[in-house]
């Protein structure tokens, strides 16, 4: 998928494959054109990708969240943390009648989406603080709530606590599902406490994770799933089967949680600081520059 606009805009996009996006807080992101669409990177970490919404999502974290939603994708859902609307686009492509609301704090990011990558039908964006939005009175009619909020590549404390998850529980139907794009470090302490917190509030909790991350070999993503109704285990496992990420669904969590304490707002618990990573946007920029150079010197067939 390329940005909307007249042909001249598309031509400009191809000739300028990297753009800088300035946020209201003074931070920057990089918008990088690649072979399958556009990537948004912050501090060298790719946070979102816009491509063909009907194809399997490029980002592992998005494929896992999509898998976690099970067979019947939500008719009504809220996405806390919007970025380029990667997951809402995938849901809309597979469930055209879905109604989705995206809560995004950064106005410049919303402006970018609305001007360059318009939301799919049935999806609206609200510029708001997600925790404030959650804490407001709710009708409890959502089939899914997706938490995908990072600040400086960490999950803020406002979205790791019992109070936050209690507000999510109130927003969901009895069979609704909470899906969290989370992280797991080598010691797993943060993840263990998050799972302990979810189990206080939901009857059914699961986690998608890679074996190397689970066993402490490295830092990586973890998708946390919680619901008042049984998880669609067989479908989630089928959704993950054959995925190059080798992610697995775990529902027997007793040994992992152990004696971990649930998290409260008073703990002010952020997710762990991730280790330094390679600068992805610079790598993508270099690749695109090389491709452009090849196109210039290769005669048309």
Per-residue pLDDT of the chain (301 residues; tens, 9 = 90+): 334 333 334 443 454 578 888 877 777 888 999 888 999 988 778 889 999 999 999 999 999 999 999 988 999 999 999 889 999 999 999 999 999 999 999 998 999 999 999 999 999 999 999 999 999 988 899 999 999 999 888 999 999 999 999 999 999 999 999 999 999 988 899 999 999 999 999 999 999 999 999 998 999 999 999 999 999 999 999 999 999 999 999 999 999 999 999 999 999 999 999 887 544 444 445 455 555 555 556 555 5
User: Residue 43 has what pLDDT?
Assistant: 73
d(CA 222, CA 61): 8
Going by C-alpha positions, the residue among 51, 204, 73 that lies closest to residue 117 is 51
d(CA 153, CA 47): 9
What angle do helix axes 60-68 and 86-94 make, rounded to 10 degrees? Answer: 50
Which homologous superfamily is 54-279 in?
Vaccinia Virus protein VP39 (3.40.50.150)
User: Residue 4 has what pLDDT?
Assistant: 39
CB 90 within 8 A of CB 67: no
- For the chain, what's the residue count? 301
d(CA 90, CA 85): 9
User: Residue 12 has what pLDDT?
Assistant: 38
d(CA 233, CA 225): 11
User: Residue 238 has what pLDDT?
Assistant: 96
According to DSSP H, which parts of 44-129 are helical? 60-68, 86-94, 107-116
Contacts (Cβ under 8 Å, ≥6 apart) of 284 = 18, 32, 34, 39, 41
Q: How far is CA 268 from CA 5, 164, 197, 210, in A?
A: 44, 12, 14, 27
Enter the pTM of the model.
Answer: 0.86
d(CA 107, CA 291): 33
């Amino acid at each position: 998928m390329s940005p909307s606009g007249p042909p001249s805009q598309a031509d400009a996009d191809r000739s300028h494959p990297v753009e800088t996006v300035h946020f209201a807080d003074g931070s920057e992101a990089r918008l990088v054109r690649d072979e399958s669409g556009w990537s948004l990177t912050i501090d060298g970490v790719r946070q979102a990708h816009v491509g063909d919404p009907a194809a399997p999502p490029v980002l592992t974290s998005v494929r896992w969240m999509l898998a976690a939603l099970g067979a019947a994708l939500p008719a009504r859902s809220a996405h806390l943390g919007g970025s380029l609307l990667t997951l809402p686009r995938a849901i809309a492509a597979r469930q055209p009648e879905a109604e989705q609301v995206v809560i995004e704090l950064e106005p410049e990011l919303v402006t970018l989406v609305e001007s360059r990558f318009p939301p799919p039908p049935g999806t609206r964006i609200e510029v708001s603080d997600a925790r404030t939005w959650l804490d407001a009175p709710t009708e409890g009619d959502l089939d899914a709530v997706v938490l995908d909020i990072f600040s400086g590549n960490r999950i803020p404390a406002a979205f790791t606590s019992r109070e936050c998850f209690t507000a999510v529980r109130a927003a969901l139907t009895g069979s609704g599902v909470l899906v969290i794009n989370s992280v797991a470090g080598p010691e797993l302490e943060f993840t263990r406490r998050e799972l302990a917190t979810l189990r206080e509030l939901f009857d059914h909790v699961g986690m998608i994770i890679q074996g190397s991350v689970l066993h402490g070999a490295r830092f990586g993503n973890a998708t946390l799933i919680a619901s008042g109704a049984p998880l669609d285990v067989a479908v989630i496992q089928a959704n993950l089967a054959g995925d190059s990420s080798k992610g697995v669904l775990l529902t027997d969590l007793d040994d992992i949680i152990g004696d971990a304490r649930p998290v409260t707002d008073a703990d002010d618990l952020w997710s762990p600081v991730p280790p330094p990573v390679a600068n992805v946007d610079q790598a993508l920029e270099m690749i695109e520059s090389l491709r452009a150079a090849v196109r210039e010197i290769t005669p048309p067939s």
